[in-house]
Amino acid sequence: MTDKRYIVVEGPIGVGKTSLVELIGENFGSRAVLERVTENPFLPRFYQNPKRFAFQAQMFFLLSRYQQQRELSQQDLFNQSIVCDYLFAKDRIFASVNLDDDELALYQQIYELMDQRIPRPDLVIYLQAPTEVLRQRIKFRGRGYEREISREYIEAINEAYNRFFFSYNATPLLIINTAEVDFVRNPEDFQDLVREIQRMKKGVQFYIPLGSA
């Protein structure tokens, strides 16, 4: 059990968010909520032609994430604890990389209207990894449309995440470098993380997994 009703796991593409969300959900008896990435019809086209399809892909994600988060605030958070594999603000991280200035200005107006109605997590867990590690993990999971992702794009997203969380203070934040740890294959590391989650109160904490110590 945990006193944190709503936990979010965040990090760049390929860092391992979904696997950790499922483990946390199982451990705490929480409902695991996963982002509906594969439902975005513009995503494969975006990776093939980013300039042409960036705005369509971004707006689809924004609306989809907003709808899913509103469903959480209206129903589940009153009935059971939740662990989710994305923070609503991640949409703005990707928009800052993918959209040109005019598109971003329009996007920002819409985002700010939606953000006011989104529930705030009790804890955000930010997973970090070097770009080369992310590339290896993306390749390993073998999603066809992700073969089009360039190293430069992964690097840009990774840097954007680091900039965002450098000044993040909206909720308690637990930062984990996952470069040399696998919570799925190392139960001791995961149980140590569970204890860290239970101890976490306010501010920012940096967690070093046992396997990396």
pLDDT of residue 4: 81
Q: Max Cα separation, the chain?
A: 49
Catalytic residues, which ones? 85
Say what the pLDDT of residue 208 is: 80
Mean pLDDT estimate for the chain: 89
Which is it for the CA torsion 136, 139, 140, 146, positive or negative? positive
- What pLDDT is stored for residue 1 in this prediction? 55
pLDDT in tens, 107-135: 999 999 999 889 899 999 999 999 999 99
pLDDT: which is higher, 8 or 209: 8
For the segment 84-106, the average pLDDT, to the nearest whole number, is 96
Domains of the chain plus CATH, in order, are: 6-212 (3.40.50.300)
pLDDT of residue 210: 66
- Amino acid symbol at 213: A
